[in-house]
Structure 1
Amino acid sequence: MEPFVLQKVENGCELFYIKSWMNQNAGLTAGFTSRLGGVSKSEFGSLNCGLHVNDIHEDVVRNREKLAEALRVGLDQCTYAEQVHGNEVQIITREHAGAGIDSRERAIQSKDAFITNEPGLFLHALFADCVPLLFYDPVQNAIGLAHAGWKGTVLQIAKKTVEAMSLHYGTAADDVLAAIGPSIRDCCYEVDEHVISRIRQSMDELQIRNEQEDGGSPIYADKGNGKYNLSLQQMNRQIMIKAGILPSRIEMSSLCTSCRTDLFFSHRKEGGKTGRMAAWIGLYE
């Protein structure tokens, strides 16, 4: 069953919620935006949440306001970052509230993963094919969010996020619920030998096999001529398992951003000129 459930909110935003988590804890909100229900025009139509794609600034801020309204929070409770395809984790505290909501200069700089245990803070990260990774520790009431393109994946950002939650909040990995959100899937994600060599290096380091023992699809498939279809979803799932998260606690979306440009922005499918979705997670006060 698809863990990210589409729902149209009263203000018009169409959002994918992780309903199973939210049903377990009414104080939690977590999910992923679609491209629908905003005010942006043309290739950014319509719920573009990215300030860095040359959309009209005021339209993007209004879209972020609409998302906050849909979540029933103030925009000044939200955080946004300048992501760099790295694996550094930022601890989010009250002092970060409102970071980057209307300005790239005031965003959290050069970070791709975010953790907090403070209610009233709502973490956001931006995507247009890369993989959203969401983490929820119901025991310590801590949350995490990470942005994993292929570079962040081979840098094991999923493992780094779990380790940071353990260090700072006492999270036990086998208590963690994890979700892998809508992103470009292996059906559409073709990469070259350079990328696969980095993937293999990370797999060797973590002792991850290409063929999945539980019958899941392989991490990559050789197409010949130095080209491969790559599943960043399966790779991140295996990294989560190696970090100690139980396989039964990992939800994985079946939605491909490249296949479904009616619902999502896709950097690859749309030739680089497109908007950004936002993944979010937060605990209500």
Structure 2
Amino acid sequence: MMEKDPFSKKSERIFTVNSKPFKRELSLAAGMTTRKGGEGVKPFDSLNTAFHVGDDPQTVIANRKKIGKELGFPLSSWTASEQVHGSEIIKIRAEDKGKGALSRHSAAGEADGMYTNEKELLLVSFYADCVPLIFYAPAAEYVGLAHAGWKGTALNIGGKFVNTWVEIEKINIEDIYAVIGPSISQEAYEVDDKVISQMEKLIPSYPVPWYSTRKGKFQLDMKEMNKVLLEAAGLPSENIFVSSHCTYNENELFFSHRRNGGGTGRMMSFIGLKENK
């Protein structure tokens, strides 16, 4: 039997994580946006959430406000970093609220991973085929996001994120849960020797999540690659949930950098804790 997808439709704009322990409707917001229900003209129609792709900044802000209203997190509580396809992970504090929410230049530093234990603060990250990693430690009350393109995956940002929580924040690894969100599927993601050589350094003897189609060309399963790396970092497999959604194939729901030749918008992953009231 096929496992139920960890994401369910909240509205035309938003998919939320429905797997336990993420399913805490009053105290946790976690999920990913679609490309529907917003403002914007082609190729950014209609819910682009990122400033860096060339869309009108006021349209991006309008779209973000729609999402914030629906989630109950005003833009003044959002924090975004400048994503650089690396493995830097930063801790977000109360004074970082609002950074990156209304402009790109105000982002909370260059980092592809962020986490916090602050309440009423929404972490946000942007995607159009790369792998969103969403982390939650319910007992410790920590939340986090990591952006895993092939470069970030090759740098093992997911494993580094887990190690950061365990070693620096002293979180019990059994208390860490991860969701691997909608991203490009193996069938749609052809890569070359350069990419595969980087992946081979990480799992040289593991049953590999790629196969060769012709000389120097491979189909890489980025979701499975990240799952393998999370497990290698010690995360129990039952604590990892993987979405079956493909950003490339589901044109009506998602933006795709590869499908659209680079000119397109971005979806947004998000996670934030609310004060218990």
TM-score, shorter chain, exceeding 0.5 = yes
Aligned twin of 1:136: 136
Aligned twin of 1:5: 8
Aligned twin of 2:93: 93
1:175-186 aligned within 5 A: 175-186=175-186
1:103 corresponds to 2:106: no
- Residues 140-187 of structure 1: CA deviation (Å, up to 9, x unaligned): 111110000000001010011112222343212222111000000101
**Number of aligned residues:** 271
**Residues 185, 221 of structure 2: 8 Å contact kept:** yes
Q: CA deviation at 1:26?
A: 3.2
1:274 is aligned, of 258, 264, 273, to 264
1:200-279 aligned within 5 A: 200-204=200-204, 208-210=206-208, 219-279=209-269
- Please give the secondary structure, in 1, of the residue aligned with 2:10: strand
- Residues 75-115 of structure 1: CA deviation (Å, up to 9, x unaligned): 11001121000000010001110011111111122200001
208 and 25 in structure 1: CA distance in 2 versus 1, 3 angstrom threshold? farther
Aligned twin of 1:157: 157
- Please give the secondary structure, in 2, of the residue aligned with 1:90: strand
CA RMSD of aligned residues (A): 1.2
Gaps of 5+ in 1: 211-218
Gaps of 5+ in 2: none
Q: CA deviation at 1:25?
A: 6.3
1:18-57 aligned within 5 A: 18-20=17-19, 21-24=21-24, 26-57=26-57
| % identical aligned pairs | 40
TM-score, normalization by structure 2? 0.95
1:77-92 aligned within 5 A: 77-92=77-92
Q: How far apart are the structure 1 equivalents of 2:201 and 2:58?
A: 43
**Residues 30, 280 of structure 1: 8 Å contact kept:** yes
**Residues 22, 136 of structure 2: 8 Å contact kept:** no
**Residues 117, 169 of structure 1: 8 Å contact kept:** no
Aligned twin of 1:167: 167
**Which amino acid in structure 2 is aligned with residue 5 of structure 1?**
S
- Please give the secondary structure, in 2, of the residue aligned with 1:187: helix
**Which amino acid in structure 2 is aligned with residue 270 of structure 1?**
N
Comparing 182-191 and 157-166, the one that deviates more: 157-166
**Residues 114, 146 of structure 1: 8 Å contact kept:** yes
Q: How far apart are the structure 1 equivalents of 2:25 and 2:159?
A: 24
Q: How far apart are the structure 2 equivalents of 1:128 and 1:109?
A: 21
Q: CA deviation at 1:24?
A: 4.4
TM-score, normalization by structure 1? 0.92
**Residues 28, 283 of structure 1: 8 Å contact kept:** yes
- Please give the secondary structure, in 1, of the residue aligned with 2:135: strand
